[in-house]
Amino acid sequence: MAVGVFDSGLGGLTVLNAAQKRLPEVPFVYFGDSAHAPYGVRDADDVYQLTCKAVERLWDEGCDLVILACNTASAAALRRMQESWIPPGKRVLGVFVPLIEALTERHWGDNSPPREVAVKHVALFATPATVSSRAFQRELAFRAIGVDVEAQPCGGVVDAIEDGDLILAEALIRSHVEALGRRMPHPQAAILGCTHYPLMEDVFQKALGEEVKVYSQASLVAESLADYLIRHPEMLGPGTQSSFLTSGDPQRVSDKATQFLRRKIEFIAA
């Protein structure tokens, strides 16, 4: 009954942590592709190939359902995977839709035409690859009209977080918020479009100001996953053990993960 969670590195641990709290009875297998992180500076074909390889590894662990807890992979690879690659009996889901559902106040499965929503000016902070894909804007257009989205590619932030250099990460975030603010001075909402960014959510909030509502993905994805499993219990795979896999150095990744989540995490080689 295991569920797989994939990220290019450690950012997906924010989603995993929320999912474990929401679904304590479900074993989760986490795979971080730290050897190839960050994905946000790679081209779409490269992201697609790496993501497929990682998902296959999680299938090998008995995870018929895999969550791409990586916005870059969700943006650059998921649609292509769903259209031509995923075999019957397997599912791969991304992290964009729960976020957009919360922003537009629409429930899962609401297939009514796009409509006007309360939030008109949205700031999107994401990796360069996610921004260039325009996947967020595409998914939003299915559900809402009249929303102005200003996207800011946040180069360097993921690297700094992965390296544990939170001082540099904070400086970069402030710089990116200032850059976006010159184009959209008064956003009503801000989307943290990378699962690394919740680790620095307080920095984003302070830089944006308390009047801006910040949407972070972890709890939204966890709630959406719980709802999905109620409707599709057959997608709980045959795996029974929780584990943490990495393509990088297990000891180094374990140390960083322990620092991020403030609890002991032990990765093994994938």
Which are the catalytic amino acids? 70, 194
Q: Structure tokens of 263?
A: 């609890």
Closest CA to 55 of 37, 73, 72: 73
Overall size of the chain counted in residues: 270
Extract the runs of DSSP E, i.e. beta strands, from the chain.
3-7, 28-32, 65-68, 91-93, 115-116, 121-126, 144-145, 148-153, 189-192, 213-215, 243-246, 268-269
Could you write out the DSSP letters of every residue in 113-156?
A: PPEE-S--EEEEEE-HHHHHHTHHHHHHHTTEES-EEEEEE-TT
Here the contacts of 54-59 (C-beta below 8 Å, separation 24 or greater) are 54/6, 55/4, 55/6, 55/81, 55/92, 57/31, 57/245, 57/270, 58/4, 58/6, 58/29, 58/31, 59/4, 59/90, 59/237
- Please calculate the CA angle 212-218-224 and round it to the nearest 5 degrees: 110
Question: CA 35 to CA 14: how far, in whole Å?
Answer: 19
